[in-house]
Chain A
């Protein structure tokens, strides 16, 4: 009596005690106080074990009560018959090893041997066969915006089958499969028979990291890529340089980081960059670099003379500098050469060119700029000058066969954009209307405005990120198709490796599900349960994700 009663009292008593504690579920894996309506298409599993709950929720899941056992010493992930990918597919081989480790890593039962399974009656699941169906699986390529991430997973004895068009879908399916496998109280590995049909709702699901306001060591970036893969994110938007520091070591212009980085060891060498790109690729994550201009470029001026606009004070140069100087030819010579390097270093088809928050004050003070304005007939509309600059940059980047992403100001200030330019909407005020405007103009959009995760606040703020409905803006069906996804942004003013992981996770997970799962997956109580379980899973996999609310995980973080 004592324990169960006490737990019921514990859970329900929290409803009684006001003020500090508001709880829907406080014990991980514990008592369910209320009955919940089953989602359609589900069959009620006899005794739902929360540890196999999924995040993000797949498009279509059918789970059966029958369970299968896995023996770590025997279970294998293999290429199935008919797959266009085989043992030569390094990406999948790497993924097999990685997911084996996630599933059985902490188990002590991994030694080779033919010991029979513990006294459970369930049949054994021997294999997960992975079948890539497209002619070209994409093993050695990079993921694209248009890559297929769909997969079909059947878990039944004696062999589970994961089918996907391309390897990117297989990666997503492996993640889901690894979430289905759970350990019981006796250390046995079980999985429920299930069938899953899944694909992402949005094709662009990103996380922005800022390595200029604070340098982020490589380890931090790589750990974050792991966490992104657990949440099915597929874009790392690397805001690599900005006003405060220039850590990117350029091959053509080494002075940029020599003079612009915080210090000589706080840089990303070409090897570092390659490592990030490859580490991401193996997880089906695109790396879109952002070299934000013409504003946000103070650090560029340290290593590149005569790039930034000299500001004037009463007819004389004041000694301070403003945005990139748009009137000099040398500016475009430099940018052309620099962007050529970027285009070859970063394999993604897109480069983010920034274009946000350009402060016109310095331009207005500079006599050459003023002269140029007159000559071009821009009058006093400096937005036209900004657009002039941006258009030139877009042309340069197009000539390198790269697509461009820009912040919304570039669109707002009426620059002439290419039809496939992607506009990132970030200003929180009335962003739904901005989405209407951007898509109404026939342009593709990515949403970040409601997902600035650097804006921390007290309490369960994951809920406000989760309840965003990206397509809630006035527009036609055609327009809505132009919203290709979103990005959770973690700007770096107050963030570095000491607090990045707990600040990003699991809050970004809420964004991850909103971008992957179906639009009708909105139940907060269910999300809370799955999210707390998912957070414990991330802890087990070495991600120091912070708690969602009061409670505990069976395997706590290792700590300092």
Chain B
């Protein structure tokens, strides 16, 4: 029986936060000593002169292949209670995920309680009393994650995906027009008024202070230009600026100012791929998040992004919300993030990827079984060596891992026919 696990850490960082550059490598030795087993794990090589009974029975040398291994949760399409988020962080730790990408607000609801703009959640949450994340909740998540070596990267997606911001921030969103009159409907954030940038500055000042990670995710995806096109003031602005009919230039205009604001707050940023695709002028240390998937278009996108010198994150083949019948973990597992045409320097710009669990059809009733063990396939793809691809071996280990999860009280769904020693008792 193993009675001791000795942990040696070179540079502790016990009270700090994990970051993109954190060292996650470790070396473990196990040997038998006087009838019991000892395991010793260290982040630096140790002088191994530890006595007469030293037998080198087990040796594990481990480090992640990619430094950014994330999971996205969407708490806008459906509110997720705090305990669901915390449980997810636990299971992420079991899978060596190290980034929690919190897509916290979006069109349908704004659950984030802002101290600067309390009306945002008061007017924008599904229910301002119950379906919100208080400042304390947010700190709980950040600390819970930290204790598990998980970074929390918050995403405040703009200028699209912001309908829920409108009620609490009058004048922020673009009024759409039907002919000559406002239709009563609103579109993306209005990029032509100064008040927008004042608002954005103050909001991101708060967000930058609340979330300690160096990076913020700024979104920038799926901006629908229809509303902007319908608004006469915006059209006038387009003419004045010489943008013509190219609304991508207007989007660029907004994003560039947003990036400047966030940089001045000493934060780095991640953006969805449209920001890159639409030729926005980006800072060289921007991280591009590749998500569009239509017959492997992401492979080309990864090449394009890295060829332009930007770091890339891959999510496109890992949209776990897109369920289908059968063992779909296999497709997720088979993905090879570096399978694109490019130089070694380009490939080095791929810092990792994220499994995404968008919330249109997901809430606490089905989150855990839908996430696990499927996300485990992505976890291994991002941690383990690229040669680790044998499906039969993966199946065996993942099925066993699923049973382990059950034993730890996680409602992970089955991979296939079979049973575990400790079955789930039923909800």
* Residues on B with beta carbons closer than 8 Å to the beta carbon of A262: 418-419
Per-residue CB proximity of A219-259 to B under 8 Å, as 1/0?
A: 11001000000000000000000001100000000000000
In chain A, what residue has the closest Cβ to B109? A552
Name the B residues within 8 Å of A216 (CB-CB).
Answer: 426
Is the Cβ of A556 less than 8 Å from the Cβ of B363?
yes
A78 within 8 A of B: no
Q: Is the CB of A496 within 8 A of B109?
A: no
> Is A13 a contact of B411 with CB atoms below 8 Å?
no
B360:A20 contact, CB within 8 angstroms: yes
Q: Does A454 contact B (CB under 8 A)?
A: yes
Residues on B with C-beta less than 8 A from A12 are 183-185
A13 and B324 contact, CB distance less than 8 A: no
Say yes or no for A172: interface residue by CB 8 A criterion.
no
Residues of B within 8 A of A469 (CB): none
Digitize B393-427: 1 where CB-to-A-CB distance is under 8 Å, 0 elsewhere: 00000000000001001011111111101011111
Task: Check: B164 CB closer than 8 A to any chain A CB.
Answer: yes
Whether a CB of chain A sits under 8 angstroms from the CB of B304 is: no
Residues 77-104 of chain B, each 1 if its beta carbon lies under 8 Å from chain A, else 0:
1110101100100000000000000000
- Do B325 and A455 have beta carbons less than 8 Å apart? yes
> Quick check: A497 and B424 within 8 Å, CB to CB?
yes
Given A10-B164, A16-B187, A20-B360, decide whether A550 and B226 contact each other with a Cβ distance below 8 A.
no
Q: A3-B123, A457-B324, A546-B363 are in contact. Are A9 and B369 (CB under 8 A)?
A: no
Contact residues, B362-413 vs A (CB, 8 A): 362-366, 368-370, 406, 409, 411-413
Task: Contact check, A215 vs B423: say whether CB atoms are below 8 A apart.
Answer: yes
In the assembled complex, B280 has its CB within 8 A of some CB on chain A: no
Q: How far is the CA of A503 from the CA of B222 in the complex (A)?
A: 30
SS class of chain A's interface: helix, strand, loop or mixed?
A: loop
Shortest B80–chain A CB gap in Å is 8
Question: How many chain B residues touch the partner (CB < 8 A)?
Answer: 71
Contact present for B325 and A456 (CB under 8 Å)? yes
Query: Do the beta carbons of B419 and A10 come within 8 Å of each other?
Result: no
User: Nearest chain A CB to B89's CB is how many angstroms away?
Assistant: 13
Assess whether A5 is interfacial by the CB under 8 Å rule.
Answer: yes
Residue A6 CB within 8 A of the other chain:
yes
Question: Taking chain B's interface residues, is the majority helix, strand, or loop, or is none over half, making it mixed?
Answer: loop
Residue-wise interface mask of B (34-49) relative to A, using a CB-CB cutoff of 8 A (1 in contact, 0 not): 0000000000000000
Q: State the Cβ distance, A185 to closest chain B Cβ, in Å.
A: 12
User: Residue B227 at the A interface, CB < 8 A?
Assistant: yes
Is B124 an interface residue, CB under 8 A from the partner? Answer: yes
Distance between Cα atoms of A544 and B327 in the complex (Å) = 23
Mark contacts of B219-257 with chain A using CB atoms, 8 A cut-off: 1 yes-contact digit, 0 otherwise.
000101011000000000000000000000000000000
What is the CB-to-nearest-CB distance from B406 to chain A, in angstroms, rounded to a whole number?
8
> Measured between C-beta atoms, what is the minimum distance from B92 to chain A in Å?
15
Using an 8 Å CB-CB cutoff, how does the interface string of A487-508 with B read, 1 for contact, 0 for none? Answer: 0000011111111011100000
**Smallest CB separation, B249 vs chain A (Å):** 21
User: What residue of chain A has the Cβ atom nearest to residue B363's Cβ?
Assistant: A547
- With A262-B419, A494-B416, A496-B423 as known contacts, state yes or no: A3 contacts B321, CB within 8 Å: no
Confirm or deny: A551 has a beta carbon within 8 angstroms of a beta carbon on chain B: yes
Task: Let me know if A557 and B170 touch, CB within 8 A.
Answer: no
Give the bracket for the number of chain A residues in contact with chain B: 35 or more
CB–CB A550/B108 < 8 A: yes
In the assembled complex, the Cα of A18 lies from the Cα of B360 at a distance in Å of 14
Query: How far is A493 from B417 in the complex, measured between Cα atoms in Å?
Result: 5
Contacts of A26 in B (CB 8 A): 108
- Name the residue in A3, A263, A457, A497 with the highest tally of chain B Cβ atoms < 10 Å from its Cβ: A497
> Which residues of B lie under 8 Å from residue A468 when comparing CB positions?
none
**Taking each of A3, A544, A554, A556, which has the highest tally of chain B beta carbons within 10 Å of its own beta carbon?**
A556
A5 contact set on B, CB distance < 8 A: 166-167, 184
- Which residues of chain A come closer than 8 Å to B418, judged between CB atoms? 214, 244, 262
Given the complex, which residues of A lie within 8 Å of B324, measured CB to CB? Answer: 456-458
Please name the residue on chain A nearest to B411 by beta carbon: A498
Interface residues of B in 110-148 (CB under 8 A from A): 123-124, 126-127, 130-131
Residue B204 interfacial (CB < 8 Å):
no
Which residue of the partner chain A has the closest CB to B170? A2
Contact residues, A37-94 vs B (CB, 8 A): none
Residue of B nearest to A210 (CB): B417
- Which residues from chain A contact B77 at a C-beta distance below 8 Å? 550
The 8 A CB mask of A7-38 against B (1 = contact, 0 = none) is 11110111011111100001100000000000
Smallest CB-CB A-B distances: 6 pairs: A6-B167, A219-B426, A502-B366, A499-B369, A220-B426, A552-B126
A-B contact pairs, 28 of them (CB 8 A): A6-B168, A9-B173, A10-B163, A12-B185, A13-B185, A17-B163, A216-B426, A217-B425, A217-B426, A220-B427, A223-B426, A244-B417, A457-B325, A460-B361, A493-B417, A498-B411, A498-B412, A502-B366, A544-B365, A546-B365, A547-B78, A547-B365, A549-B360, A550-B359, A551-B78, A552-B79, A556-B79, A560-B87
